[in-house]
Chains A and B, each alone.
Chain A
Amino acid sequence: MVKLGKFFKGLYVVLMGIFLYAPIFTLIVFSFNAGKSRAKWDGFSLKWYAALFQNQTILQALYNTIIIALVSSLIATLIGTMASIAMNRMKKLPRQVMMGITNIPMLNADIVTGISLMLLFIMMDFALGFTSVLLAHITFNIPYVILSVMPKLKQTDRHVFEAAQDLGATPISAFFKVVLPDIFPGILSGFLLAFTMSLDDFVITHFTKGAGVDTISTKVYTELRKGIKPEMYALSTLMFVTVLILLVFINRRRDRQNEAQKI
């Protein structure tokens, strides 16, 4: 009986793995296909990888994607953290109102956010381009940061901050030495969440981007009518592998830290 249970547990995990990774695996396989078709295997080849690194428009789009994701999530983390600290000190009612206001953009459909941002930019006579995309990304990233920093702040005891000041710390050094280390995991996860949100956003980017500014997602989408080029498979494979290595690295480090703490 126990054995059967174990078997089903294993089967469940394997099935989950297949559902999650079979599409990615197919994509990786076809990135090595010598032919252009998704239906036919024409032999192993690295030519799409070579083509990828010669394709200036894709590389430019990749560069834009990463810069926008990085800068927007950094700025959003800064603003979001400051906002959370201020909101944490508010009275209950205003705090709840503020929380509601910051939550709405997250629940709102992307297309509504995208079109309203576009109309706002047009109304202000603000030329759509790289900057407008960046501002849009900062805007929709802030709620995610607030959402992950707020619970951490609630866990911390506000008297610790006061105690630090009693012991002679200035408010600023008390913040950096006492409060910040406490909420840092929240800030970090907020940053990572914002980074990934920005990385794979399509709709908002589409509406706020100007001529000639493309991110990976908008670039892929324009290729839909004529069929997606295998260079994109190669790029996706490389991105997947990079993220995988990064995750393994982070997890192993965390494991080692946990063990160190146990001892």
Chain B
Amino acid sequence: MRKVRRVLAVLLILALAATCFSACGKKSSGDDQVVYVYNWGEYIDPDALDMFEEETGIRVIYDEYETNEIMFPKVQAGAVAYDVICPSDYMIAKMIEEDLLQPINFDNIPNVENIGSIYKEMSEEFDPGNKFSVPYCWGTVGILYNKTMVDGEITSWSAIFDEKYADNILMIDSVRDAMGVALKYLGYSLNSTHEGELEEAKNLLIEQYPLVQAYVVDQVRDKMINNEAALGVIYSGEAIYTARENEDLVYVVPDEGSNVWIDSWVIPKNAPNVENAEKFIDFMCRPEIALLNFDYITYSTPNVAAQELIEDEDIRTSKTAFPDDEILHRCEAFVYLGEEMDEIYNAKWEEVKSGQ
């Protein structure tokens, strides 16, 4: 009797678990009026999402991530089938390589014509033929300096390696950005895989080590606003915000050229609602919507039609937000260099950071 009861209990538990899994675990299928969007945090004006939902009747299920690296494993494992994602350049290259993306049918995205040709040209570096991506936001890496604390105008990367500004320099704490700056200053490509060039860049950064006040990422904004340092390496997207808070701050893309980054919309291979994804991307490429997002994010928009719509003349003609094509031609996008190269870069950067 006792045995029977025990078996019965186990069976009941199993039944309970089974119903739970089958009942609450059902994937919602057949519901085609949704679009799953995976974007950077704070990277869209919430009103734009509402407008999209209202106009098309497609419900946006919106999800956010904070770095390319944290987005990638979730997409790769297929944890959630997203329809639209917005990764950065080198990550797009990696996702193409891993066969995670599908080519976009541009016939269904007529507004793509609003995207400036130079941005498509720059996208070629990580997406040859512009088959997989539609640019959404972009920016450069440059120097932010405080007019009152440096001599004259700064136009070269040499300033951040100058002993004059010892203890007044904020260096960016990120492998590829820091190595890229050094490589560019030395006149090499920032995607260099040449051992000798990398060694030279590393030695330059080691020489710079005693001059650096702090290695930072986010804090550069607040430190510069607070007049704590004379110059710092920063992303152009932050420059508009910091200049608004402290008018002594000037942003410049050095003459040697720099990194230009692009975040673009892509459609993953396992997207369940491709049609809605295309509608979403098309909507984001409308000039009014791109402008709305530009005002919210303050990162430069590749949407030429939207650039013309900017009311504030200072921003429309700002070299910070929209540097000359000539400067852009000297800038490069990051390319995914493969795991082995990543490790070499990391090892060199470790050496720099340990201060030897």
Contact = CB atoms under 8 A, between A and B. Distances in A.
Contact of A39 (B36, B46, B226): B226
A126 interface: yes
Given A40-B225, A225-B42, A226-B297, A118 B25 contact: no
B181 to A, nearest CB: 20
Nearest to A226: B42
B28 interface: yes
Interface of A is mostly: loop
A210 B82 CA distance: 10
Interface in A197-233: 206-207, 210-212, 214, 219, 221-227, 229
B29 to A, nearest CB: 10
A225 B79 contact: no
Interface residues of B, number: 38
Interface string A19-61: 0000000000000000101111000000000000000010000
A122 interface: yes
Given A39-B226, A224-B66, A225-B67, A122 B42 contact: no
Contact of A126 (B25, B63, B73, B218): B25
B324 interface: no
A226 B225 contact: no
Contacts of B221: 37, 39, 227
Contact of A115 (B36, B67, B73, B226): B73
Nearest to A55: B46
Given A124-B21, A206-B70, A211-B80, A224 B27 contact: no
Contacts of B73: 115
Contacts of B66: 221-225
B61 A211 contact: yes
A126 B21 contact: yes
B128 interface: no
Interface in A211-263: 211-212, 214, 219, 221-227, 229
Contacts of A40: 225-226, 245
B62 A211 contact: yes
A173 interface: no
A72 to B, nearest CB: 14
A160 interface: no
B225 A222 contact: no
B38 A225 contact: no
A141 B63 CA distance: 26
B74 A207 contact: yes
Given A211-B82, A225-B67, A226-B42, A127 B74 contact: no
A125 interface: yes
A226 B222 contact: no
Contacts of B223: 39
Interface in A118-161: 118-119, 121-122, 124-128, 131
Contacts of A214: 64
Contacts of B46: 57
A224 B69 CA distance: 14
B210 interface: no
B7 interface: no
B16 interface: no
8 contacts: A124-B21, A212-B61, A212-B62, A222-B40, A222-B65, A223-B66, A225-B41, A226-B297
Interface of A: 35, 37-40, 57, 115, 118-119, 121-122, 124-128, 131, 206-207, 210-212, 214, 219, 221-227, 229
Interface of B: 21, 24-28, 36-38, 40-43, 46, 61-67, 70, 73-74, 77-80, 82, 218, 221-223, 225-226, 228, 245, 297
